[in-house]
Amino acid sequence: MRGGLRPIICIIVTIIVIVTARTALVAQTVRVLVLDALNGKPQSGVEVHYFCQSETRNFLPADSDRTNSDGIAFVSYPCKEDQKIVLDVTALPKEECGDLHPVTFNEISEVGIISPPDGEGEMHCPTKISRKLKPVPGQVIVFIKKPSWWQYHF
């Protein structure tokens, strides 16, 4: 009787380990949604760069992913608990609006982040689209737009 239970217990333990490991991997992935700041359309083919940052230094090498046809890049969160992730979006000729400050995994997973398009940073953009959105846990929303002549030259 004992010999018959042992394989069943091994199978149950294996299933628990696999399910737990998959959950842990999924929990460490961040969705980055890139939208056009003027019309709110998802932007495909945009490169999302990311790296970790602590209080005193940046941890390189930086890595990157591209957005899919829905404007979403799935970024694996590589940072340790005491570090924050820095996200930067490149989509020439369009540029990132405002400046997304470094954020922790808890901020992203519990509340979600909407990057302020009119915040401090390279280029200020209208907030018409961003005001209508609500944060989604596990997701970061970033806005881009083509700079105006004035923004491009000054």
pLDDT tens digit sequence for 85-98: 999 998 888 888 88
Which DSSP state fits 127? -
pLDDT band at 63 (very low <50, low <70, confident <90, very high): confident
CA 92-136-19 angle, to 5 degrees, is: 105
pLDDT band at 138 (very low <50, low <70, confident <90, very high): very high
Residues 147/149/150/154 CA torsion (nearest 10 deg): 80
Q: What Rg do the C-alpha atoms of the chain give, in angstroms?
A: 20
Give the model's pLDDT for residue 1: 47
Candidate from 3-7, 47-51, 53-57, 127-131 with smallest mean pLDDT: 3-7
Give the model's pLDDT for residue 43: 95
Asked whether the beta carbons of 65 and 45 are under 8 A apart, the reply is no
In this prediction, residues 16-40 reach a mean pLDDT of: 72
Give the model's pLDDT for residue 92: 86
| Number of alpha carbons in the 13 Å side-chain half-sphere of residue 63 | 12
Provide the residue ranges of all domains of the chain, joining segments of one domain with +: 30-153
Q: Which of 90, 83, 85 is nearest to 65 (CA)?
A: 90
pLDDT > 90? residue 123: no
Please state which CATH class domain 30-153 belongs to.
Answer: mainly beta
pTM of the model: 0.76
